[in-house]
Amino acid sequence: MDMDDALLPPLAAAAVLLALAAALRLLLVRRGAARARLPPGSTGLPLIGETLRLIAAYKTANPEPFIDERVARHGSGVFTTHVFGERTVFSADPAFNRLLLAAEGRAVDCSYPSSIATLLGARSLLLTRGPAHKRLHSLTLTRLGRPASPPLLAHIDRLVLATMDDWRRDAAAAPPVRLLDEAKKITFNLTVKQLVSIDPGPWTETVRREYVKLIDGFFSIPFPFAYLLPFTTYGQALKARKKVAGALREVIRKRMDETAAESGGAKKGAADQEEKKDMVQELLEAEGGSFSVEEMVDFCLSLLVAGYETTSVLMTLAVKFLTETPAALAQLKEEHDNIRDIKGKSQPLEWSDYKSMPFTQCVINETLRVANLISGVFRRANTDIHFKDYVIPKGCKIFGSFRAVHLNPEHYENARTFDPWRWQSKNKLQNAVGASLFTPFGGGPRLCPGYELARVVVSVFLHHLVTRFSWEEAEEDRLVFFPTTRTLKGYPIYLRRRPAAEDSSAF
Ligand code: HEM
């Protein structure tokens, strides 16, 4: 071996080492750069991250500082934190929220914890993705987006009046009414009617009792193996889900048999067909009748769940905010008394009446803005997402906060104040929706299909409430935001019939 040969192994080894060091450096620089490009933030304590801080904030009367402080600290409307076991990018930026909502099904997908997915059912609209989601979503919009249809409006009118009819008339001796409970009855019965055309009665009451346990499960701790722990709230919810699904399955099977009999010759009259043109009928006829019973059950259940808490809390909070803002209540009363003056006392509301309630729509918009019934949406990145100077890596969890935008004083003057008049200025609503400054119903491919229905229900409810009753709070109640936005006591009120409404034949 000569000298050169002897030097070769150490030189080669040194070269390999140098190359490795360079590669490692490059890797570290790259990782550092990637980390630097992630939106700024802190991931808090190991494992629990900032979860406890988030929950603590939402348990107070003013949860805003959780987001506000981080936005101020990092100088960015998009920041990184670590909540519910995962690194999560939070957005308080309307431009990013718009991107997030529009990118659904492509750069991002909606993301629910598995405990919630189990309660919803695998074929629920909220979990379906891709072309199947597109088809189901448009089917739902077709059905729910027609609240103008005369039978539906007449039914909402009847249902609201029937619920109010149950309120005791002898105000002096009457116990307070928990408004949230009453609103929930209306919402549940209305959705059942739309899904399967069943009027309130023993069947709806039995299903409702189980359904309430199912709903509780969404806001409980899902212990592992909960199905073996039927005494826990989540375990009870799993049991209740089976019962509700069973009741729906029975109705759907019966309807399938009827449809089969009809196609075998026993045709029904046009009026009957129209009466049964409910969600199940829509599903039975859709896509050449290819939906399975289980698909229809999951679908119906997801509609029952999605509109229940939201619409009933919206009704309750609209009344609470109006009570606390007497000038707004007086203006609303005037709007509805005018409608009654023209219609007479017991004529059912029609679409043209609904269209002549501009101030009511301002009240509803403002309640949605201040209350933030859905405070934002969770998504997961399907690909690296570039926004401003940041990269949100594929697989990362993202939360687009609507609440942070709706309550930001940069976007709304006196943002924390209930001020329905702010919506009176021309094009305010269109502009705010267009700029993603007002997204109570989300947007993009998962835009809430119940957005118009919810408005109609609340408008009809407010109409009958203010034209027939006056009320006062039975005890002080306050807003809570965890696990959902609602009032702590369900808003108990003493109701008194308005003298002008005494002789109404609707009661
Ligand atoms: C005040 C009332 C309501 C509010 C604030 C509300 C809000 C929302 C929001 C923000 C979303 C989007 C979720 C996301 O993007 O991940 C949504 C979706 C949905 N909403 Fe509503 N909603 C209300 C009433 C209703 C009603 C009355 C129904 C039906 C009876 C309904 C059915 C649905 C369904 C099925 C979805 C899922 C759509 C999909 O994933 O394609 N909602 N809602």
pLDDT tens string 317-339: 999 999 999 999 999 999 999 99
Interatomic CA distance for residues 66 and 223, integer angstroms: 27
Q: Which pLDDT belongs to residue 218? A: 82
Rounded mean pLDDT of 75-92?
A: 91
Biggest CA-to-CA distance, the chain = 119
The CB of 403 under 6 Å from ligand 1? The reply is: no
Interatomic CA distance for residues 299 and 11, integer angstroms: 69
The CB of 279 under 6 Å from ligand 1? The reply is: no
Which of 69, 89, 74, 50 has its CA nearest to residue 386?
89
Ligand 1 centroid distance, CA of 450 (Å)? 6
Interatomic CA distance for residues 182 and 41, integer angstroms: 43
Model confidence pLDDT, tens digit, residues 336-346: 999 999 998 88
Ligand 1 centroid distance, CA of 448 (Å)? 4
Cβ-Cβ contacts under 8 Å for 287 (sequence gap 6 or more): 135
Interatomic CA distance for residues 110 and 378, integer angstroms: 6
Q: Which pLDDT belongs to residue 118? A: 87
Ligand 1 centroid distance, CA of 125 (Å)? 10
Interatomic CA distance for residues 220 and 235, integer angstroms: 10
Interatomic CA distance for residues 419 and 400, integer angstroms: 25
Interatomic CA distance for residues 84 and 46, integer angstroms: 12
266 — pLDDT class (breaks 50, 70, 90): low
Interatomic CA distance for residues 212 and 55, integer angstroms: 24
Q: Is the pLDDT of residue 31 over 60?
A: no
Residue percentage of the chain with pLDDT more than 70:
86
The CB of 450 under 6 Å from ligand 1? The reply is: yes
The CB of 191 under 6 Å from ligand 1? The reply is: yes
Known binding residue 362? Answer is: no
Model confidence pLDDT, tens digit, residues 349-361: 999 999 999 999 9
The separation between the first and the last C-alpha atoms of the chain, rounded to the nearest angstrom, is 112
Of 201-210, 254-263, 298-307, 472-481, which range is least confident?
A: 254-263
Please answer whether residues 479 and 158 qualify as being in contact, where contact means their C-beta atoms are separated by less than 8 angstroms.
Answer: no
Both tokens assigned to 88:
């999560």
Please answer whether residues 191 and 304 qualify as being in contact, where contact means their C-beta atoms are separated by less than 8 angstroms.
Answer: yes
The CB of 103 under 6 Å from ligand 1? The reply is: no
Q: Is the pLDDT of residue 113 over 90?
A: no
DSSP H or E run through 260: helix 233-263
Rounded mean pLDDT of 198-216?
A: 92
Three-state secondary-structure class, residue 473: strand
Phi, psi of 492 (to 5 degrees): -75, 130
- For a mutational test of ligand 1's pocket, the pick from 120, 441, 459, i.e. the residue with the most ligand atoms closer than 8 A to its C-beta, is 441
Strand partners, 76: none
Please answer whether residues 418 and 324 qualify as being in contact, where contact means their C-beta atoms are separated by less than 8 angstroms.
Answer: yes
**Extended strands (E) in 323-468:** 376-381, 385-387, 390-392, 397-401
